[in-house]
Every structure is written in C-alpha cells, then in structure tokens.
Amino acid sequence: MRLFATALAAVVMAAGPGARAPGETRRDEPKAEAPAPQTPAEVRADIYARLAASKDADETEGLVGLLLVGYQRSGSDTVELLLERAHKAIVAQDNGAAERILDAAVAFMPEDAEVWNARATLRFVDDDADGSMADIAETLKREPRHLGALMGMASILQSRDKKKEALEVYQRTLAIAPHWKAAEEAADKLRAAIAGQAL
C-alpha cells in the first residue's frame, strides 16, 4: 500500500503543478451536473418510440400500460390531484362530483390532454356521446397519439354505425401501437362486419 501511495505521489509531482490524481477534482472546478429529469412529454415520447419498435403483443401491452400512466403525469401536482379525486368519485359512482372536479381541471390547465380525455371518458359513461366526442377532439389537439382518446373515438363511431370511419381510427391506433391486442381485435371484428355487409 505504501509503495502504491509513493508511486502515485511521484506521478502527480512529475505531471507538474496543477496536476491531479485520477478522479480528483479541484475545489474551484465545477462538478459535472446530473442530467435534468425528463419532462412528462419527453417520457411519453420515449414510450411512443419504443412502441413503434415493439416486436410482440406482450411488450406492446406493457408499453401501453406505461403510456396510460404517463398520460396522467402533467407536471402539475394540482391537476394530478384533481384527476385522482375524479377517479375516486367515478369509482364511488358519484359522476356528478367527478364532472365538477374535471370541469375544474379543464379550467385550471386546459393545455393538458389528459384532463380532456378524463372528462371525455366520463361523458361517454354518462351516455353523452356528443360531449365525449368534443372532449376527444380537444384531447387529440394536444396529444394526437393519445391511445385512450383514439379508442374512445373509434368506439363512438362504431356505436353510430360508422364502421369504416371507426376502422380508420383503429388503424391509426395500430400505426402508433403495433401488436396492441385490444386495437387489433376491434379492427378485425370491424373488417369482418364490413366484409359481411358487402356480401
């Protein structure tokens, strides 16, 4: 150990004044900063990229799950709290309270896609298809690849017997999330129904 310390000192001295041992930093030298954490939008962008490259249904399912959670990360503690409260109200079947909470969330942070999507979902559950479609449109303005909004739109179109339009939306969804079983199965059923009508 003494031999190693002596050798290291000799190397530092030979290097001249101002030299330092490997790994040593000078007091006046700024330390390298850790990279800034990703924003919610950057996290979603990474997941979308991984989804596009996904090779199988299991991987896709896991990534879609991450994305659905990621949509709820707005970067605003207030909005995330409001979404959580709205979800609890829906679970408690208090849709009136949920709607008031989501109206407040939309008013507080209208640029966030998920507040619109959450209200679209609630309106769909409440049989307000027109209101749901209006909120889906607002969601997609802010997050054009929002999988929940796209699936909701396709479902409403299908309920209105607009099968070809619904199929186009499912295909758009599959372009974002290839191998996603929910979208694949819905698209396959619609193709079969459209083919049956053509016979």
For 119, the domain range is 40-186
CATH of the domain at 110: 1.25.40.10
Number of domains in the chain: 1
Q: Is residue 197 part of a domain?
A: no
Q: Is residue 198 part of a domain?
A: no
Q: Is residue 199 part of a domain?
A: no
Report yes or no: 117 and 83 within 8 Å, Cβ to Cβ. Answer: no
Report yes or no: 74 and 100 within 8 Å, Cβ to Cβ. Answer: no
Q: Is residue 33 part of a domain?
A: no
Per-residue pLDDT of the chain (199 residues; tens, 9 = 90+): 443 333 333 333 344 444 444 444 455 555 667 778 889 889 999 999 999 999 999 999 999 999 999 999 988 999 999 999 999 999 999 999 999 999 999 999 999 999 999 999 999 999 999 999 999 999 999 999 999 999 999 999 999 999 999 999 999 999 999 999 999 999 999 999 998 876 6
CB within 8 Å of 104: residues ≥ 6 apart: 82
CB within 8 Å of 76: residues ≥ 6 apart: 108, 109, 112
Q: Is residue 122 part of a domain?
A: yes
